[in-house]
A and B are shown apart, each in its own frame.
Chain A
Amino acid sequence: MMKRLAIHITLFLPLIFLLVQLFIIEVNDPVKYIYTISGIVSTVILFFSITISLIKKRVNLLKYRRAIGLWGFFYALVHMINFVVFDAQFDIYFILEETFDKPFIYLGMIAFFILLFMAATSTRKLFRKYSKYHASVYLALLLITIHFVMAQKTIDIDMFCYIAVILVIGYYKLLQIIVKNSKVYTS
């Protein structure tokens, strides 16, 4: 119980931080700021959600994976709302034009809809039916990473650090899958 509460509080803090920066400290470019914070937080949470099964022997958070994943989706939703409300200002034509025209935008959009699908089918009943499609989170993460790199004007050292961490997670994830599959065949 305490663990669950701690997780929720931790994942809620970035939102508080964002609101304080926006309305109390007043950042210079709010629209860009919402994009950056919500995007990075969502990406980190989602990558963390797939590492849960890697670290389960040390810290077992499997029980909370759904909650953590939903928080990741929540920040992606904030990201998306920022696009629709502040960036596009509800201009549907602008949204469609950008979505179909700019790889940067449509990769992000596809990733968002994958997450939306996962969030919508995360209830106990629907999850039983759709869980096999939840592996699409890997596709979403790949698209998010490309989207993230494309948002930069230039690639600097920070960006290479993010990508290095992602590659390490990816490597262990792949290893885990290979080991799991070979067990299936040998047994």
Chain B
Amino acid sequence: MKIIKKPSWQLNENEVTPKELFDKRRNFLKLGAASLVASGAILETLAKDNIPIKNLDFIKDKNLNNLKLNTYEQITTYNNFYEFTTSKTRVKDLARTFDTSNWTIDIDGLVEKEMTLDLDDLMKTMSLEERIYRFRCVEGWSMVVPWIGFTLKDLIKKVKPLSKAKYVRFETLLDEEQFPDQARGIFATIKYPYVEGLRMDEAMNDLTLMAVGLYGSKMPNQNGAPIRLIVPWKYGFKSIKSIVRISFVEEQPVNSWQEQNSREYGFYANVNPNVDHPRWSQKRERVLGKFFKQDTLMFNGYEKEVAHLYKGMDLRKFI
């Protein structure tokens, strides 16, 4: 009797996939890959279509940190702008008719000469640059936005504050005709006009931006048109929208959210994963569009640029 002893590596006949099926599987994989590429391309075109035509001239950000941008759609359909509504998704619709033409900014307080700047004129004299920044909201969500604007430092140099000026105070437009929540009087969600402030050295930091646009075109109404502040190492509410007044003052201004609830929202509002909000943790953040969270970085990732501003300060106390 002849005994056939199979070598250990040899498969049983029934374990072998027939060639026909094997080929089919390859075809299926190819199809899958092709459809992935195709839908990716379509999605990209669609996403591009939602971005308005670029209408600003600016120096592009090289994005050295390789930040992954949020889409124009995400940035412009999820907004906190209480003057319109507390609903983040309804702001876009309500802000559609917001009139920002002939916008002026009053500069007053401790300056050599108080003045009213016409925004169109101002834009002609400032050189614009793109700044791709992380943007972290105190509520726990975040996004990455390609803002366009000029540094606040350049503006401050232009308007020449006096040496007595220790703080900069900003104010948003007060206009019941245009802002539904302001028209609600004592039933308004927060006190208006919205006020924010920075210490002079924070204002003079190279990161502090006066933004007039994003994704190459001018600022969408819902994002704080026509001009807003961007302080990327602080929680989003510090980055005041639709600015009409900038005052140079000696005393630390009381900002709107601090006035609303000083236990939860302070003057500094630095992004700090080690100091929780009294009601929720600040350790992690939800990037718009993502199901899973990521760790929040100290000073929102701008520690190198700004940590020296707070040396020796107890950041648990100075929230």
Q: Which residue numbers of A lie inside 8 Å of B, CB to CB?
A: 26, 28-32, 86-87, 89, 94, 97-98, 101-105, 150-151, 153-154, 156-157
Contacts of B274 in A (CB 8 A): none
User: Can you list 14 A-B pairs with a CB-CB distance of less than 8 A?
Assistant: A28-B289, A30-B289, A32-B141, A32-B286, A86-B291, A94-B281, A102-B278, A102-B280, A105-B280, A150-B279, A153-B139, A154-B86, A156-B86, A157-B187
Q: How far is the CB of A39 from chain B (nearest CB, A)?
A: 14
Assuming the A-B contacts A86-B292, A153-B139, are A29 and B286 also in contact, with contact meaning beta carbons closer than 8 angstroms in the complex?
yes
List CB contacts (< 8 Å) of B241-273 with chain A. 260
The distance in angstroms between the C-alpha atoms of A156 and B141, with both chains bound, is 21
Q: How far is the CB of B223 from chain A (nearest CB, A)?
A: 14
Interface-central residue, A32, A101, A103, by most chain B CB under 10 Å: A32
Interface of B is mostly: loop
Assuming the A-B contacts A29-B286, A154-B86, are A104 and B293 also in contact, with contact meaning beta carbons closer than 8 angstroms in the complex?
no
The distance in angstroms between the C-alpha atoms of A98 and B292, with both chains bound, is 18
B302 contacts chain A at the CB level, 8 A cutoff: no
Contacts of B289 in A (CB 8 A): 26, 28, 30
Interface size on B, residues (CB 8 A): 28
The distance in angstroms between the C-alpha atoms of A153 and B281, with both chains bound, is 14
Within the complex, which residue of A28, A32, A98, A151 is in contact with B74, where a contact is CB–CB below 8 Å? A28
Assuming the A-B contacts A26-B289, A31-B286, A86-B293, are A154 and B279 also in contact, with contact meaning beta carbons closer than 8 angstroms in the complex?
no
Q: How far is the CB of B76 from chain A (nearest CB, A)?
A: 10
Contacts of B281 in A (CB 8 A): 94, 97-98, 102
Contacts of A89 in B (CB 8 A): 292-293
Q: Render B282-306 as a binary contact track against A, CB cut-off 8 A, 1 for contact.
A: 0100101111110000000000000
Assuming the A-B contacts A31-B293, A89-B293, are A154 and B190 also in contact, with contact meaning beta carbons closer than 8 angstroms in the complex?
yes
Interface-central residue, B140, B283, B291, B293, by most chain A CB under 10 Å: B291
Within the complex, which residue of B77, B139, B278, B293 is in contact with A87, where a contact is CB–CB below 8 Å? B293
The distance in angstroms between the C-alpha atoms of A75 and B77, with both chains bound, is 27
